[in-house]
């Protein structure tokens, strides 16, 4: 499960949105490192 810390900010703040996207890409590219983790937080 991936949890976004502040959904309202995600829609209203382009810098925050960019950081969230970068973090999500990092998770996808390194998915093996996150196997078995129950929840991941994006800023």
What's the pTM value of the predicted model, to 2 decimals?
0.79
Cα–Cα distance, 27 to 3 (Å, whole number): 12
Answer whether residue 43 shows pLDDT above 90. no
Q: What residue segments make up the domains of the chain, in order of their start?
A: 2-42
Position 3 confidence tier, pLDDT thresholds 50, 70, 90: very high
What pLDDT score was predicted for residue 9? 94
CB 39 within 8 A of CB 3: yes
pLDDT tens, residue by residue, 23-40: 999 999 999 999 999 999
Cα–Cα distance, 7 to 32 (Å, whole number): 26
Q: Kindly state the average pLDDT of the residues 3-24.
A: 94
């Amino acid at each position: 499960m991936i949890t976004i810390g502040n959904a309202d900010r995600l829609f209203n703040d382009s810098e925050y949105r960019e950081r969230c996207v970068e973090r999500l890409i990092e998770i996808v590219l390194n998915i093996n490192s996150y196997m078995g983790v129950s929840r991941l937080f994006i800023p």
